[in-house]
Amino acid sequence: MPDAIQPLTVAFVLASYTPDAPAGMERATAALAHGLRRLGHRTLIITATEPDQATDEGMDEDLVVLGSVGVTFPADDDELREAISTHGQDEIIAADMRALYRRHGVDIAVYVDALWGLGRLAPACDGVRTVLAMHVVGHDQDLVPALERADVVVAPSATVLGHAHDRSYDGTCWRIVSNALLDEHSAPDARRREVLRQGGPVRVLARLGPEKNVRALLDAGRLVDRGIEVVLAEAGFEHAAGAQATEYRRCPHSAAHLLMCSIHHGGLPWDQVQPWLADAAVVVVPSTKETFGLVALEAMSVGTPVVAFDVDNLPALIGTGDGAGGVVVPRAHGEFGLWDAAEALLDDPIRYAALSRAAYYRSRDYLPTTVAHDFLKAVR
């Protein structure tokens, strides 16, 4: 149902944004924009990725390129920071953003991260409310100026607030707005789900970041009675130049002892993520850091149980005990513990069916319009 208030124009700023990017910030941004549009509002996504670096079909009227950033992706933090801070470039970019806001009648500007969302620049503009969406707690040199410029700070989980507190930031007035599902895809019925439990593949979907921990999972893998399918992709940001390509080259070596393991590079289009996860017997999320856990949520939304470590937001998202949408493994048990939990779950049809049902119903709290309503309440 459309929101009762006058329609707003909300601009999201994320330098690395491209449609189908294999990263949670991009997908969460697209999902929130989608939810707001369904409530009757207008959204823009402002990116620094040039058109020839994005897919042609992804370039639409809601995607605006901010050409003055002048960096080639993928890039690391230092490259982007230098690009926007050299020879007064920050003032040029800020002026360009103001011009975009005036041209499109923007009411709310959402900077998706202090650095990658250009929150450290966040120019003051009459009539535009400034929101810093803190998916992770960034470097102090970016976060301090971003917080000074923000009218409202939102984070996707209590985990982020905890990390900020540990860094001596006062987050008492910050608001939690969860990430949303981008699409609603039907879950397999009980009969199909049982077929998948008996013989479906174990699947892993991740970007090539060290905290995603995929190589360590493959090193420890020994589930050999069914296929293991891994899809990896490079995001527009990385912790060091060339790190993602190096990580991918090493994965086949880590998986060499697994007889039925396939590793694919290039990720999945966003509209194929949930269908692919739906056809898994179980989805393993081996991350050692996860401020939200979007892949886990997407798997749960199609009734696929998740196996993950008890790190950051994953226990709150997946749940523990009755009503959990998967199995949360103590980090101390290591990657072998993830495989043990997956094997035990697949050998227990009653528990598996219960977790599958609970996973689907837990995901209903993250529909795009639900999260869009929460966002509007938080930022007004």
Window from 82-86, 177-181, 346-350 with minimum mean pLDDT: 82-86
Q: Hey, which bits of the chain come out as E strands? A: 9-13, 42-47, 63-65, 108-112, 129-133, 152-155, 175-176, 202-207, 228-233, 261-265, 282-285, 306-309, 326-329
Choose the final residue of a domain: 116, 142, 177.
177
- In this predicted structure, what is the pLDDT of residue 241? 75
Share of the chain above pLDDT 70, in %: 95
Using 50, 70 and 90 to split pLDDT, how confident is the model at 51? Answer: low
The answer to whether 280 and 306 have CB atoms below 8 angstroms apart is: no
Q: 32 and 145: one domain?
A: yes
Q: 268 and 204: one domain?
A: yes
Choose the final residue of a domain: 153, 177, 201.
177
For residue 378, is it within any domain? no
Q: 170 and 196: one domain?
A: no
pLDDT, tens digit (0-9, with 9 covering 90-100), for 188-228: 999 999 999 999 999 999 988 889 999 999 999 987 688 99
**Tokens read off for 115:** 């650095």
Mean pLDDT of all residues in 59-84: 86
For residue 49, is it within any domain? yes
Using 50, 70 and 90 to split pLDDT, how confident is the model at 134? Answer: very high
Q: 236 and 306: one domain?
A: yes
Beta-strand pair 202-207/306-309: unpaired
For residue 360, is it within any domain? yes
- In this predicted structure, what is the pLDDT of residue 58? 42
**Tokens read off for 276:** 């692919």
> SS3 of 316, please?
helix
**Tokens read off for 288:** 């050692």
Q: 243 and 317: one domain?
A: yes
Residue 28 has pLDDT above 70, yes or no: yes
pTM assigned to the model: 0.92
- In this predicted structure, what is the pLDDT of residue 81? 94
Using 50, 70 and 90 to split pLDDT, how confident is the model at 55? Answer: very low
Q: 153 and 209: one domain?
A: no
For residue 182, is it within any domain? no
Q: 21 and 137: one domain?
A: yes
Residue 285, φ and ψ in degrees, nearest 5: -115, 95
What is the distance between the alpha carbons of residues 200 and 362, in angstroms, rounded to a whole number? 23
> SS3 of 156, please?
coil
> SS3 of 158, please?
helix
What is the distance between the alpha carbons of residues 171 and 175, in angstroms, rounded to a whole number? 8
CATH number at residue 210: 3.40.50.2000
CATH number at residue 46: 3.40.50.11930
Share of the chain above pLDDT 90, in %: 77
Contacts of 90 (CB under 8 A, 6+ apart): 84, 121
For residue 184, is it within any domain? no
- Please name which of 375, 277, 314 lies closest in space to residue 158, comparing C-alpha atoms: 314
Distance (Å) of CA 307 to CA 85, 157, 287, 352: 42, 20, 11, 12
DSSP string, 281-297: SEEEE--S--SS-HHHH
For residue 256, is it within any domain? yes
Mean pLDDT of all residues in 348-358: 98
Choose the final residue of a domain: 156, 177, 198.
177
The answer to whether 68 and 175 have CB atoms below 8 angstroms apart is: no
For residue 370, is it within any domain? no
Q: 149 and 213: one domain?
A: no
Average pLDDT over all residues of the chain = 92
Residue 16 DSSP symbol: T
Q: 158 and 265: one domain?
A: no
Number of domains in the chain: 2
Omega cis (within 30) before 74: yes
Contacts of 226 (CB under 8 A, 6+ apart): 199, 200, 201, 202, 260, 281, 346
Chain centre distance of CA 310 = 18
- In this predicted structure, what is the pLDDT of residue 53? 47
The answer to whether 171 and 163 have CB atoms below 8 angstroms apart is: no
Handedness of CA 184, 185, 186, 187 (dihedral sign): negative
Window from 66-75, 108-117, 209-218, 302-311 with minimum mean pLDDT: 66-75
For residue 329, is it within any domain? yes
DSSP string, 216-279: HHHHH----SS-EEEEEE--SB-SSTTHHHHHHHHHHHHTTT-TTEEEEES---HHHHHHHHHT
Window from 2-6, 92-96, 145-149 with minimum mean pLDDT: 2-6
Residue span of the structural domain in which 107 resides: 9-177
pLDDT, tens digit (0-9, with 9 covering 90-100), for 225-260: 889 999 998 877 767 777 787 777 778 788 888 888
What is the distance between the alpha carbons of residues 298 and 315, in angstroms, rounded to a whole number? 15
Q: 72 and 163: one domain?
A: yes
What is the distance between the alpha carbons of residues 198 and 286, in angstroms, rounded to a whole number? 22
- In this predicted structure, what is the pLDDT of residue 59? 42
Q: 129 and 199: one domain?
A: no
Q: 211 and 173: one domain?
A: no
